[in-house]
Structures are given as C-alpha cells and as structure tokens.
Amino acid sequence: MREVHLELLLGKQVYDLNGQPIGRIEEVKVEERDSDVLVTEYHLGALGLLERLAATAIVHALLRPFGLEREHHVHIVPWHDLDLTDPEHLKLRRRSN
C-alpha cells in the first residue's frame, strides 16, 4: 500500500498520455474502510474546485440562465487511472473520456 499526502496533490496539473494538460486536481473523493482511508477518484478542473468549495449548486443556478453552464466541466479520474510515480508530473494511465 502506498501513502500519499493529498494536500501536496491539490492544485497539481494532470497530463494525458500525449503530455497535454487536462486539468488540476481540485477535489479528492475518499472512502473509509476499517481503519484506512482510500482514494476513490480525483476531480479535475473548474467545477472540481467549486465542488471543493461546496459552491457547485449555486454556480450552476447562476450560469444556467445565460447558457454558460456547459462551458465548465469536471474531469473525474478513477484512482487507478492516475499515475502517482512522479508527484511533480502527474499523468493518466489511460485515455480520458
């Protein structure tokens, strides 16, 4: 089992298989299992940040009347799809959707 300090990952840029940036880690979802806390997924991008700030619903409500809601999105990356080998250069293990 590998231990990672999540506070050091927040805000880090994540790259796709071609080395192109796809977003920064803004939110991390975890589950408690027995005495362990396990990462289930990483949320990248602007809505990931708003999610961390618990402001997603408010922002959606404000953007919807202007048709801007679709311009912002969150990239959800399952825990096993993020390569943490080099924490300074995070990359996906497979193609993103």
Q: What does the pLDDT look like over 51-76, one tens digit per residue? A: 555 555 666 666 667 665 554 566 88
- Which parts of the chain have pLDDT scores under 70? 1-2, 46-64, 66-74, 96-97
Strand order of the β-sheet with 13-15 is: 75-78, 36-44, 21-33, 13-15, 90-92, 82-83
Which residues, including other chains, have CB under 8 Å from residue 54's CB and lie 6 or more apart? none
pTM, two decimal places: 0.70
pLDDT of 67: 62
How many other C-beta atoms are found inside a 10 Å radius of the C-beta of residue 91?
A: 18
